[in-house]
Chain A
Amino acid sequence: MNPLQPQGEERPATLRRDHLPNGPAGAAILSAGAGCLALGILAVVADASKPMARLLTFYRPTGPLSGVSSLAILLWLVTWFILARRWRTKTVAIAKVNAVAFLLLALGVLLTFPPFADFLQGK
């Protein structure tokens, strides 16, 4: 091995060990949690309010589910895009990011559970 040769040049670019900051991962993780929470909130809103259900009916045969899922995906992707740009080269407090993301994810899952959604609506 040539000692003057910088390390990593022996391997193809695709196989080089990359030293990435955790920002991009944090952005992806947190936005996924936010997307799941958005889904849960929109599902409850569409179930609780007839006008909102009509507003969220983007595609009539599918009903409000079309708007609920489309908007949640849109919010998730927009959040991801914004956070990814801001944290592209940053090292973030990943433990806090994980904690918040898990909380958002858990709330999102809980809000999709019909008995819980009914309880929130006083049904």
Chain B
Amino acid sequence: MEITLRALITLVHGMLFGAFFLMAVSGLVVEIYRSAHAEQPSALTAKGYSLERLYLIGMVGLGWAAVLTGAYLIYPWYRAVPPTGVTDLALYPRFLLKSSATTAGWHDLGMEWKEHIAWIAPIAITMVAYVMTKYRLSIREHPQVRTSVLVFALVAFGAAGVAGFFGAMLNKYAPVNGGPTIHLKGKSQ
């Protein structure tokens, strides 16, 4: 059982940073919506507020980690140009996708959209985390601020969802591979 370094980093990018970001944002959306309909504001202990802040910081960190690893580690491998004469495009996912009319759309729509919309998620969620932290005790006094926070959180979820979906599909049709092989289990060949 082996995995290449590039495949492992892609896994960390998508399954750790991206997927956990989506889960964290979905939890936050539920909490914002729930708090909007609570009769009594839920007061937390000092430790409770610390944990809440940790959750928000972790969520923001996951969002930025996902886009930064995507743009600066994986994307360069994805868009690498094959040297002249190379016919096996397995290590050049962008060119592999564009080499066939049946897969070109995954690049032209999928990657072209994913590479940009993904950045909206951490920008939006950083704002959400800031407002949630700063107004943690008085958000009920600012219902329109809460509405805005909810909308931006939903858009962040949608943006990350689009990026995640196309990331998964791109990796299905043209996986990012290469680099040193990491042996995980069993006999290596």
- What is the bound-complex CA distance between A116 and B109, given in angstroms? 11
* Chain B interface, number of residues (Cβ within 8 angstroms): 40
Given contacts A17-B137, A69-B119, 18 further A-B contacts (CB under 8 A): A14-B46, A15-B45, A19-B138, A26-B145, A31-B127, A32-B152, A36-B120, A39-B116, A43-B116, A47-B112, A61-B76, A63-B75, A98-B144, A102-B148, A102-B151, A109-B159, A113-B113, A114-B112
Please tell me if the beta carbons of B71 and A62 are within 8 angstroms of each other in the complex: yes
Q: Please name the residue on chain B nearest to A95 by beta carbon.
A: B144
Write the residues of chain A forming the contact surface with B, with a CB cutoff of 8 angstroms: 12, 14-20, 22, 24-26, 28-29, 31-32, 35-36, 39-40, 43, 47, 59, 61-63, 65-66, 68-69, 72-73, 76, 94-95, 97-98, 101-102, 105, 108-109, 112-115
Please tell me if the beta carbons of A20 and B138 are within 8 angstroms of each other in the complex: yes
Q: Please name the residue on chain B nearest to A113 by beta carbon.
A: B113
A-B contact count (CB 8 A): 115
Counting from the closest, the 5 A-B pairs by CB-CB distance are: A61-B76, A32-B127, A112-B116, A114-B112, A112-B117
**B22 CB-CB contact with A under 8 Å:** no
Write the residues of chain B forming the contact surface with A, with a CB cutoff of 8 angstroms: 43, 45-46, 49, 67, 71-72, 75-76, 79, 108-109, 112-113, 115-117, 119-120, 123-124, 126-127, 130-131, 134-135, 137-138, 141-142, 144-145, 147-149, 151-152, 155, 159
